[in-house]
A and B are shown apart, each in its own frame.
Chain A
Amino acid sequence: MTPLLQVKGIGKRYGARIGCTDVSFDLYPGEVMGIVGESGSGKSTLLNCLAGHLEPDAGQVIFETRANGPVDTVTMSEPERRMLGRTDWAFVHQHARDGLRMSVSAGGNIGERLMAVGDRHYGNIRHKAIDWLGRVEIEAERVDDRPTAFSGGMQQRLQIARNLVTGPRLVFMDEPTGGLDVSVQARLLDLLRGLVREMALSAIIVTHDLAVVRLLADRLMVMKDGRVVEAGLTDQVLDDPQHVYTQLLVSSVLQV
């Protein structure tokens, strides 16, 4: 099996400060990897470098494209990268507002991505939009409402529907459950887990919530000061942490 994504020596500096440095890993089809670390550890910088939102100073991000096999997305042209962002990749932002068009109806938000990949039949688009609203547990009758009329949890689910409707193979998630109520979080996590399994998605999830990674991620990378300090099987890293920082992180979680 070939990796879906090969990350080699990615680094990003902000002037003299290190955003992230020397990050390498392979992600295989169907694998979900979590990245944890405190704020400022470089996890979001890394995610944005991987997803093509930030240009890294060093390294390669090689994605196994459907048409042309492995391609370095750092050096590909902007239009190509944008196309990838609409088809094979998806990005779920922490704040649903960053990933949605707030002035367009829920159905329009989902339909826009379909149209971006060439769907033109209004009936089909609306049908798919309603189907996806159902999958993320939003009632079909809300299809014409704007996301401004939705609760935070609903907005987040709508963002997920909008991202997954085109059947991406790799999903980047930046704190997907951050800022939501625990009960809403549980529902979202359950939903994400089901979709990841059903669609055989690969995903990279940045979070500072260890419970989220335990539930969703197969593998875990722990970052501190821009570097990966520990990586491995999620339950092994959490139950038998080796690095001083991971031990501190794990032992700092309050038991419920």
Chain B
Amino acid sequence: MIELVNVSKRFTLHNQGGAAIPVMEGACLQVGPGECVALTGASGAGKSTLMRVIYGNYLAASGQVRVGGVDVARAEPREILALRRETLGYVSQFLRVVPRVPTLDVVAEPLLAVGSDRQAALDRAAGLLRRLNIPERLWTLSPTTFSGGEQQRVNIARGFAHEYPAMLLDEPTASLDAQNRETVLSLIQEAKERGAAIVGIFHDVAARERVCDREVNVSDFTPGVAA
């Protein structure tokens, strides 16, 4: 489902003397349906960079980034947008929403974007918000004013609303209380059972051991460190 072949990434800072900083070289990764792979490595090793390259948010310098038959490193913007809409979900650490949109709509939006029936989408959104303990009285409000933890849970609900065949999870359990952490882990488990291919960053070792099948240390792809 997700396959990276020899991917490299470097940043060229034109306005800082044209410094070219290679941050990744020879990255290879394969994730099949129903599999969850954890990215590990010290802070700054490039875990988030690798995720962003897979999502098409960062431009790979070379190599192939195949997700569900699309090479993200070479695809047209509209192909990547279609991929993100249908196939590839991304739960980032921060919620980014338009002001004024009610929480329930924020969560239902990915479903509406793939053409789900409005009522079915809202029902599913409501179910997820309930599971993640967002009180019903908040659903009609915009999440912009919510606490950090609430925003994160709204973000997770949104990420899991549509059943993406491939998912990227950036620290989905960070700073959650025990009960909500448990809910998120079961959401991940359910996604695996329906055949989703997942790449995740988990600093929470116990969580990682519970849901991940393999670990990939991104330090192996750091230029100059790996021999």
Question: Would you call B57 and A190 a contact (CB within 8 A)?
Answer: no
Chain A residues with CB below 8 A from B101, complex form: 190
CB distance from A208 to the nearest CB of B (A): 19
Please report the total number of A residues contacting B with Cβ < 8 Å: 22
Question: Would you call B81 and A218 a contact (CB within 8 A)?
Answer: yes
Question: Would you call A186 and B100 a contact (CB within 8 A)?
Answer: yes
Residue of B nearest to A1 (CB): B78
Chain A residues with CB below 8 A from B203, complex form: none
Determine which of B57, B77, B98 lies in contact with A215 in the assembled complex, contact meaning CB atoms within 8 Å: B98
Say whether B52 faces chain A, with CB atoms less than 8 Å apart. yes
Chain B residues with CB below 8 A from A215, complex form: 98
Question: Would you call A239 and B52 a contact (CB within 8 A)?
Answer: yes
Question: Would you call B14 and A247 a contact (CB within 8 A)?
Answer: yes
| Other contacts beyond A190-B99, A215-B98: 5, CB < 8 A | A189-B98, A190-B98, A240-B11, A240-B59, A248-B14
Task: Report B35-69 residues with CB < 8 Å from chain A CB.
Answer: 52, 56-59
Say whether B12 faces chain A, with CB atoms less than 8 Å apart. yes
Measured between alpha carbons, how far is A143 from B80 in the docked complex, in Å? 43
Residue of B nearest to A243 (CB): B14
Say whether A39 faces chain B, with CB atoms less than 8 Å apart. no
CB distance from A80 to the nearest CB of B (A): 29
Residue of A nearest to B58 (CB): A240
Question: Would you call A190 and B77 a contact (CB within 8 A)?
Answer: no
Known: A244-B14, A247-B14. A239 touches B57 (CB 8 A): yes
Say whether A75 faces chain B, with CB atoms less than 8 Å apart. no
Chain B residues with CB below 8 A from A244, complex form: 14-15
Please report the total number of B residues contacting A with Cβ < 8 Å: 18
Q: Which A positions have Cβ atoms within 8 angstroms of B?
A: 28, 31, 186-187, 189-190, 193, 215, 218-219, 232-233, 235-236, 239-240, 242-244, 247-248, 251
Do most interface residues of chain B lie in helix, strand or loop, or is the interface mixed? loop
Do most interface residues of chain A lie in helix, strand or loop, or is the interface mixed? helix
CB distance from B165 to the nearest CB of A (A): 20
Question: Would you call B14 and A193 a contact (CB within 8 A)?
Answer: no
A-B contact count (CB 8 A): 49
Measured between alpha carbons, how far is A187 from B99 in the docked complex, in Å? 8
Of A232, A235, A244, the most chain B CB neighbours within 10 A belong to A235
Question: Would you call A239 and B58 a contact (CB within 8 A)?
Answer: yes
Question: Would you call A232 and B77 a contact (CB within 8 A)?
Answer: yes
6 residue pairs of the A-B complex, CB under 8 angstroms, read: A28-B78, A219-B77, A236-B56, A240-B58, A240-B59, A247-B14
CB distance from A187 to the nearest CB of B (A): 7
Determine which of B12, B13, B57 lies in contact with A236 in the assembled complex, contact meaning CB atoms within 8 Å: B57
Chain A residues with CB below 8 A from B11, complex form: 240
Question: Would you call B57 and A235 a contact (CB within 8 A)?
Answer: yes
Chain B residues with CB below 8 A from A242, complex form: 12, 59
Chain A residues with CB below 8 A from B81, complex form: 218, 233
Task: Report B72-91 residues with CB < 8 Å from chain A CB.
Answer: 77-78, 80-81
Determine which of A28, A233, A235, A247 lies in contact with B13 in the assembled complex, contact meaning CB atoms within 8 Å: A247
Measured between alpha carbons, how far is A251 from B78 in the docked complex, in Å? 26
CB distance from A89 to the nearest CB of B (A): 21
Residue of B nearest to A193 (CB): B98
Measured between alpha carbons, how far is A187 from B56 in the docked complex, in Å? 29
CB distance from B49 to the nearest CB of A (A): 10
Question: Would you call B99 and A186 a contact (CB within 8 A)?
Answer: yes
Measured between alpha carbons, how far is A186 from B98 in the docked complex, in Å? 8
Residue of A nearest to B105 (CB): A194
Task: Report B118-143 residues with CB < 8 Å from chain A CB.
Answer: none
Question: Would you call A31 and B78 a contact (CB within 8 A)?
Answer: yes
Chain B residues with CB below 8 A from A236, complex form: 56-59
Question: Would you call B80 and A233 a contact (CB within 8 A)?
Answer: yes
Measured between alpha carbons, how far is A242 from B58 in the docked complex, in Å? 10
Measured between alpha carbons, how far is A28 from B78 in the docked complex, in Å? 8
Question: Would you call B15 and A190 a contact (CB within 8 A)?
Answer: no
